């Protein structure tokens, strides 16, 4: 089934500066563990919670498209890159709801560290009316109540569910899943390139070729 057909659609947003195998593995393991019918990758155009990206939005979008090419259950959404507005998750989900309808199950895919910071997100309580949340866990990040902000711990206790529950509603559940630990970061990749070292085997070959052809990240962060 293609990624945007009727079924459970995963959403993975990010700066993707550059996209690497950690991002792609997260998308794949979310699809497997949460029984998703597809994953839509959404590069942020103007991320609000990070510094200025090392590559232009158009380059980051192009690299994500190269990385996703040939993976039938991955699609790429260019709307955030094309927008002149800052990228926030709730408006993005509202846009998707308008596109996909009110009954399409949508799963926002986040890491456990990002999930723990959810109370700092713009309009974060509105997320649950718009989507489910799939939380990728790995060693070093805990979802124990004492490790979460009280308001988030309460939401987690009330909304925790299994992957099977995702098909029964358009949103509102929180489903943790285990992810293979991969110590790959975009920051480290940019540093390697800035130091004139290769990030081969950390990014897809097509992405590496694009980086080299466009002389991206030549200055270390």
Question: Among 48-52, 116-120, 151-155, 173-177, which is the least confidently predicted range?
Answer: 48-52
Q: What is the percent of the chain where pLDDT is above 70?
A: 94
In a 3-state reduction of DSSP, which class is residue 96?
helix
Measured CA to CA, the distance from residue 195 to residue 199 in angstroms comes to 11
Residue where the block lists tokens 């103007």: 46
Q: What was the pLDDT predicted at 46?
A: 78
pLDDT of residue 4: 44
The answer, as to whether pTM is greater than 0.75, is yes
Q: How far is CA 197 from CA 46, 60, 190, in A?
A: 28, 20, 10
Residue keyed to tokens 């987690």 = 156
At CB < 8 A and 24+ separation, what contacts does 156-164 make?
A: 159/128, 161/132, 163/33, 163/34, 163/35, 164/35
Q: What is the pLDDT, as a whole number, of residue 50?
A: 66
Exposure string for 113-152, b = 16+ CB within 10 A, e = fewer? ebbbbbeebeebeebbebbbbbbbbeeeeebeeeebeeeb
Alpha-carbon radius of gyration of the chain: 17
Quote the Cα angle for 64-203-110, to 5°. Answer: 60
Residue at token pair 């358009």: 170
Q: Out of 3.30.1780.10, 3.30.1330.10, 3.40.50.620, 3.40.710.10, which CATH number does the structure's domain 9-182 have?
A: 3.40.50.620
DSSP three-state, residue 32 = helix
95 touches 79 (CB < 8 A): yes
pLDDT in the model for residue 138 = 81
């Amino acid at each position: 089934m293609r990624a945007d057909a009727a079924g459970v659609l995963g959403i993975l947003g990010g700066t993707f500066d550059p996209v690497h195998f950690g991002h792609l593995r997260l998308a794949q393991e979310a699809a497997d563990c949460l029984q998703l019918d597809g994953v839509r990758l959404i590069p942020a155009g103007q991320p609000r919670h990070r510094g200025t990206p090392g590559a232009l939005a158009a380059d980051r979008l192009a690299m994500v498209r190269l990385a996703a090419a040939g993976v039938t259950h991955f699609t790429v959404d260019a709307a955030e890159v094309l927008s002149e507005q800052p990228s926030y998750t709730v408006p993005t989900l509202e846009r998707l709801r308008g596109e996909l309808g009110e009954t399409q199950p949508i799963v926002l895919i986040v890491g456990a560290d990002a999930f723990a910071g959810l109370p700092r997100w713009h309009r974060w309580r509105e997320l649950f009316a718009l989507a489910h949340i799939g939380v990728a866990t790995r060693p070093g990040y805990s979802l124990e109540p004492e490790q979460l902000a009280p308001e988030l711990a309460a939401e987690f206790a009330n909304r925790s569910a299994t992957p099977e529950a995702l098909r029964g509603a358009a949103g509102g559940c929180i489903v943790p899943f285990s992810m293979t630990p991969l110590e790959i970061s975009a920051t480290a990749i940019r540093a390697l390139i800035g130091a004139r070292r290769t990030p081969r085997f950390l990014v897809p070959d097509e992405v590496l070729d694009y980086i080299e052809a466009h002389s991206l990240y030549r200055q270390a962060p």
